[in-house]
Chains A and B, each alone.
Chain A
Amino acid sequence: MFKHMKVTQISFVIKKTSLVCLVIGLFLMCESPIFIPEGAFQEVTLDMSGSWKITSAYRNGIEMSDKFDFSGFGLKLDFDNSEATTYQIETKQVPFPVISDGNWKYNDPVYPTQMLLFSTLDTAIIEFVESPISGFDKMRIKFQLGCSDNLYIYDLELQ
């Protein structure tokens, strides 16, 4: 097949063929089994079960702890990695968008920015000021209660 080709053409074909062989060789060399840990692609939902207490509270950016007693508040969240689980709330005069027990879930199970609380009468949207990360024991939430001009922020801590 080479007898009708010029020298330059022959060297071009050889070069090209050896390059292809090299690539194939490299590919074969690298083909070791890739280890994927079991469950790595499984979406993990943040576990925030436990009892949460208020450590500080703000109304429109003003610290309210010295004007109002927030200590009686307790929010107990259950969590078993299902769509919605139950919560129990003890408000003890502390304002909160829901005042009776119900179910709750994240707005997005993997990258939550909100908690949705469903009581028999109300659905409340509680926003995370910062998205929670694994192993957290503090969260800062914000919400409205009545007039949209008034914004409330609670710092909660896991007991």
Chain B
Amino acid sequence: MKNFKGYRFEWNPYRAMAVFFICMLLIFSMCMTILQIDQPSEVGAGEVFEIVMQVDVSKDDDTGDPFFLIVGFLAPRAWNAGVNTTVRFESSVGNSTMRLTTSDEIDGNTKLPWNLAFDRKFGIGDNYGEVEWITFIADEAFVAADGATGTVYITTKAGEDNMIVQLAYGISNQTWGFSDDNFDLVFTDCMQVIDGIGYPSNLCGPKPRQLVEQATFTMDDLITIVFDAKDGDDFMLGASFIDLCAKAYSGDLVYEICDNEDVAALNYMGDDVWEITLWPRSYFDIPENQDIDFMEVTFTNDKGNLVVSNEDGSAFIIAPKCFD
């Protein structure tokens, strides 16, 4: 027997076995699909709310082996969703509560713990950061030799901070992991947390300019404000003087230091990077019984005629970012 190129086709038992196993995988794996997700587009800060997800498991899995459902949920780190979320499902083949996966429970495909596997495989959507995948595994295994439909109920609690965020939901199973069609994923439209604390951070928007050196801080921390003249508008490149114009918002009160006072001069750190370290409370002379909600800052030259701000002319926002 010769193939089309004229070479003799040799019977290779290993090749045949490999083909056989691939065929088996295709036959015995299952097809998991998220049919629909009901998730509010707006929730109040601190509100407990429920997400309902319709799931279909096709009958491709005719092994009849029991398997454990995996559910992934992408949520803001600030929500501490690992603690504040419960998941359960009801299905045509049985109901089960779900618990957080442990670091020993891995996706056989990526060989990573489930939360890292979701992060590696699906990323974080339109969010620029500050979100995390948390993953749940069913307490009860179920058998779906003839396929199944089910409803997954996720109950979670919004954080106290105002924000816009894109949530995401994924399903898979412990037996097959992220192979073939054994998973599905849906990124929902960006949702909003309202009536909470502070200026809303839009995780769905572009990653904001880095304004503060520390990754996390509140307005009670000693904060270092950084101005990199190379970012965005670069007309301050090579400047010999940069001044901070800042406002602190405390309830209805606004405190402002914006007229080239000596205290507001940034220090040159080299490479067109400037910085100023300040303690907001004393910088704005705010009484002990008041707290600062957030700050607005722009950067000016010594004449005050050049101002670096957002593209639309609005000031940069420095809002507390802390996941305590």
List A residues at the B interface (Cβ < 8 Å): 59-60, 64, 67-68, 91-95, 99-100, 119-122, 145-150, 152
CB < 8 Å: which of A95, A99, A121 contacts B222?
A: A95
Which residues does chain B contribute within 8 Å of A145, judged by CB atoms? 218, 220-222
Whether the pair B283, A146 counts as a contact (CB closer than 8 A) is no
Q: A115–B221 Cα gap in the complex (Å)? A: 20
Q: Give the Cβ gap from B18 to chain A, nearest Cβ, in Å.
A: 50
B283 close to A93 (CB less than 8 A): yes
Cα separation A121 to B291 with both chains bound (whole Å) = 12
Which residues of chain A are within 8 angstroms of B220 by Cβ–Cβ distance? 95, 145-146
Closest 6 CB pairs of A and B: A146-B218, A146-B220, A147-B322, A146-B221, A93-B282, A95-B279
**CB closest residue in chain B, given A119:** B288
A-B contact pairs, 10 of them (CB 8 A): A64-B222, A68-B222, A68-B278, A93-B283, A95-B221, A95-B281, A147-B216, A149-B216, A149-B322, A150-B216
B-side interface mostly: loop
Q: How near does chain A come to B281, taking the closest CB pair, in angstroms? A: 7
Q: Compute how far the CA of A124 lies from the CA of B277 in the bound complex, rounded to whole angstroms.
A: 23
Q: With A93-B282, A99-B281 in contact, is A149–B215 under 8 Å at CB?
A: yes
Bound-state CA distance A92–B279 (Å) is 11
CB contact under 8 A between A67 and B277, given known A145-B220, A147-B322: yes
| Interface 1/0 per residue, B289-321 and A, CB below 8 Å | 100000000000000000000000000000011
- Closest beta carbon of chain B to A110's beta carbon, Å: 32
Q: Which residues of B contact A (CB under 8 A)?
A: 214-222, 224, 267, 275, 277-279, 281-283, 288-289, 320-322, 324
Q: How far is the CB of B294 from chain A (nearest CB, A)?
A: 13
Whether the pair B282, A94 counts as a contact (CB closer than 8 A) is yes
Query: A59–B277 Cα gap in the complex (Å)?
Result: 11
Q: How many A-B Cβ pairs are below 8 Å?
A: 69
Q: Which residues of the other chain, B, contact A95 by a CB distance below 8 angstroms?
A: 220-222, 279, 281-282
Given A93-B283, A95-B282, A99-B281, decide whether A59 and B215 contact each other with a Cβ distance below 8 A: no
Q: Chain A residue with minimal CB distance to B219?
A: A146
Which B residues touch A60, using CB under 8 A? Answer: 214
Residues of B within 8 A of A93 (CB): 278-279, 282-283
Contact of A147 among B218, B267, B275, B278 (CB under 8 A): B218
Chain B residue at minimum C-beta to C-beta distance from A57: B222
Residues of B within 8 A of A64 (CB): 222, 277
Query: With a CB–CB cut-off of 8 A, which chain B residues contact A147?
Result: 214, 216-218, 221, 320-322, 324
Q: Given the complex of chains A and B, what is the CA–CA distance between A93 and B320 in angstroms?
A: 20
What's the nearest-Cβ distance from chain A to residue B168, in Å?
26
CA of A146 to CA of B212, assembled, Å: 14
Q: How far is the CA of A115 from the CA of B228 in the complex (A)?
A: 40
Beyond A99-B282, A146-B218, A148-B324, 16 extra complex contacts between A and B, CB < 8 Å: A64-B222, A67-B224, A93-B283, A94-B282, A95-B222, A95-B281, A95-B282, A121-B289, A145-B218, A146-B219, A147-B321, A147-B322, A148-B322, A150-B214, A150-B217, A150-B222
